[in-house]
Amino acid sequence: MSRLLQLLPALPKARRWVRWTLADHVSVAQSLSTRRFSRLPKLYPHELLDRVKIVVVQKVPRPPVEQWGLGAADQFLFVDPAGITLLDTIFLQCGSETNESLVFHELVHVVQWRTLGVNRFLGLYGLLLQQHGYFDNPLEVMARGFETRLEGAGPPHGVLPAIRRMTEELLAETSKASLVNRMAFALLPALRFGRLETSPGG
């Protein structure tokens, strides 16, 4: 059976975890635009930075992937990340909240979530996690690649359209890998398990 079909039963669980995690922290979430970063406002539109929220936590929430039947992605279980992005909310470990390149990395994930939509992001991330592990997951490689560009050769230009284009290309490439993938990724946006897109508490 296709790996993507095997992941489908985990989708409602993952969505529920995202919804609960966001609802748990909604009272302490702050707009990213209240943070004083020097380079981010030059790279991302203001309306995006206004909508993105930052939550600073002692311990970054870790998706309980083993409970979702994704135990094979074992590398992920041992990662103690400094940040994670759920939809438009970036969780940062206390002490990392001024790390601009980390926030830049997480913003790449925000754009990936927005480009793909909730179900396709979760489906694509889960599938690529199974295939490549955490570190080599192409969605992570993309985020690290942009992060390196920020650190290295100065601000990249047109970063937002570039992330969108690369995300769409990755989706197209993964869809093309099999007929099942093509059908699943076409159908995923229509599956609804709760009002995650419009309300964290919904």
**Using CB under 5 A, which of the segments 65-73, 136-144, 167-175, 184-192 binds Zn ion?**
136-144
Please state, in angstroms and rounded to a whole number, the distance separating the CA atoms of residues 67 and 57.
23
Is 143 near Zn ion (CB under 5 A)? yes
State the nearest-atom distance from the C-beta of 197 to Zn ion, in Å: 21
DSSP 101-127: HHHHHHHHHHHHHHHH-HHHHHHHHHH
CB 91 → Zn ion: shortest distance, Å? 12
Q: How far is the CB of 188 from Zn ion (least distance, A)?
A: 21
State residue 87 phi and psi, 5-degree precision.
Answer: 55, -120
142 binds Zn ion (CB under 5 A): no
- Which letter does DSSP use for residue 198 in this model? T
For the CB of residue 58, give the shortest distance to Zn ion in the complex, in Å: 20
Binding to Zn ion by residue 196, rule CB under 5 A?
no
Beta carbons of 123 and 4 less than 8 angstroms apart: yes
Q: Which residues of the chain form contacts with Zn ion (CB under 5 A)? A: 140, 143
